[in-house]
Amino acid sequence: MKQSSYAWVIVAAGALMSCVAVGAMFSLAVYLTPLTAATGWSRAGVSSAMSIDFLAMGLAGFGWGAVTDRFGPRAAVLSGAVLLGLGQVLASRAGSLIQFQLTYGIVVGVAGGAFFAPLMATVTTWFEKNRALAVSLVSAGMGVAPLTVSPFARWLISAYDWRTAMLIIGIAAWCLLIPAALLVRRSPALANAAAGGAAMPVAPGVVGTLGQAFRSPQFIVLALVFFGCCCAHSGPIFHMQSYAILCGVSPLAAVSIYSVEGLSGLGGRLLFGLLGDRFGARRVLIGGLLLQGLCIAAYLYVHELNQFYMLAVVFGTAYGGVMPLYAVLARDYFGPRIMGTVFGAATMASSVGMAIGPLAGGFVFDTFHAYTWLYIGASMVALGAMAVAFFFPPQPSRMRLQPQPA
């Protein structure tokens, strides 16, 4: 198969794996009520497994990125596939809350980190043209997860119980992820360089070594913007249903607002990917962060269901659309031989931001008995991330690759 054709096989495999991995991990919300009812464990205790997931995923993402650079992406995603199914299976057999937190929180979280950074980093090395679209399609798998894996888990719980459902999801993850992982491989340019032990050529202006990368303004700005972006939208997303119910929306309708956001995020990834290829990832990212910040603030002025739906479409498009652009920017600034490690480190920063948002929202509500300051603060953080994004250095022109100096 031609290189250009196989690149799209990598995209398809990546989209499938991101869908299954994210769907399996984030289905904890579906298990929450039947699990606590059956075991007597507290909601706070079970929910904390999700916070552990975020932290474990972020820390592990850095390590999996380094594994990708050293041994290739297949080693990372195949290990993640095995661990994800194992974590689900072990969690389904947990006899205590601490066992559940360790298996679902740590094992599943570490497994989840093996997909996002390695897959996004790998796809960027396969494409020179349509790079933003390619990574957006891989990221789109995450947007499909709430529409596929979560409903399947809900059906299994209704037909059996939460333990059987989680066990089946774990086995299904093995059946889908392991064959897909075997399709993933390094781009020919990276594979040839690794086989020959030669330095990978990089374009002028691109950082080619890790020592330079982590001290560079490019990485500092990338990590700060990624952190701020995720910190800004994670709180409003997590507390959206509670806020809508406080505004008088029925609980069932409030859940549907989240579904609208997720579906819009899927479309946003594709739209921003096309725009990123046309106008440049940096410009589109800045516009997306501005739109995200304005949408978060606008939630203070909506109170009816139709208003929530309209704003959810725009907000979902904005926060979903910007996510793949970070991988595109990282690939523009850093050489392919270090891409996995660098993007894994940036993903770790974003995961910390994701973990802070929900906790901050809970603290704000417990203190003020309202979400007003959550939306004000989150909007300011999003606009602050946009301001920092202006400090991205000019993107290196895509000149013909030159050999890296010895």
Tokens of 65: 């990125």
Contact status, residue 14 vs residue 188, Cβ threshold 8 Å: no
In this predicted structure, what is the pLDDT of residue 205? 63
Region of poorest pLDDT, from 78-92, 126-140, 171-185, 290-304: 126-140
Tokens of 256: 């549907």
Considering the domain architecture, whether residues 96 and 169 belong to the same structural domain is answered as yes
Residues 24 and 170 in one domain: yes
Query: 169: which 2 tokens?
Result: 């999801």
Domain residue limits at 128: 1-184
Same domain, 247 and 284: yes
Within a domain: residue 371? yes
Residue 114 and residue 38 in one domain: yes
201 found inside a domain: no
User: What percent of the chain lies above the pLDDT cut of 90?
Assistant: 47
Has residue 310 been placed in a domain?
Answer: yes
- Which has the minimum average pLDDT: 42-56, 108-122, 260-274? 42-56
Our measurement of the distance from residue 234's CA atom to the centroid of its chain's CA atoms, rounded to an integer in Å, reads: 11
The CA–CA distances, whole Å, from 349 to 25, 141, 190, 225 equal 19, 22, 26, 9
Calculate the average pLDDT of the chain: 86
**At residue 355, what are phi and psi to the nearest 5 degrees?**
-75, -30
Do residues 210 and 273 make contact, with C-beta atoms less than 8 angstroms apart? Answer: no
In this structure, the answer to whether residues 220 and 354 fall within a common structural domain is yes
Considering the domain architecture, whether residues 249 and 126 belong to the same structural domain is answered as no
Q: Does any domain span residue 315?
A: yes
- pLDDT (0 to 100) of residue 163: 95
Which residue, chain included where needed, has tokens 């978060």? 296
What pLDDT digit, counting tens, does each position of 239-268 carry?
887 788 889 988 778 777 877 887 888 889
Backbone angles phi, psi at 207, to 5 degrees: -75, 130
Instruction: Indicate which CATH number applies to the domain containing 299.
Output: 1.20.1250.20
Beta-carbon contacts of residue 36 (< 8 Å; ≥ 6 apart): 42, 43, 46
In a domain, 406, yes or no: no
- Hunting for tokens 């203070």 — which residue is that? 300
Residues 226 and 151 in one domain: no
- Work out how many domains the chain is built from and give that number: 2
Res 196: pLDDT? 57
**pTM of the entire predicted model:** 0.80
Q: Are residues 234 and 179 in the same domain?
A: no
Q: How far is CA 40 from the centre of its chain?
A: 31
Same domain (yes/no): 170, 231? no
Residue matched to tokens 């599943």: 108
Q: Residue 13: how many CB atoms within 10 A of its CB?
A: 24
Let me know if residue 41 belongs to a domain.
yes
Is the same domain home to 122 and 250? no
Write the single-letter amino acid at 197.
Answer: G
What pLDDT is attached to residue 30? 78
Task: Say what the pLDDT of residue 189 is.
Answer: 77
Assess whether 219 and 359 both reside in one domain.
yes
Q: How confident is the model at residue 398 (pLDDT cuts 50, 70, 90)?
A: very low
What are the respective helix, strand and coil percentages of the chain, to the nearest 5? 80, 0, 15
139 falls within a domain = yes
Structure letter (DSSP) for residue 202 = B
Question: Is the domain of 39 the same as that of 141?
Answer: yes
- Tell which wins on pLDDT, 259 or 120: 120
Single out the residue of 186, 222, 254 nearest to residue 353, CA to CA: 222
The whole-angstrom separation of Cα 99 and Cα 90 is 9
Which pLDDT tens digit goes with each residue over 197-233?
555 555 656 776 888 889 899 999 999 999 999 999 9
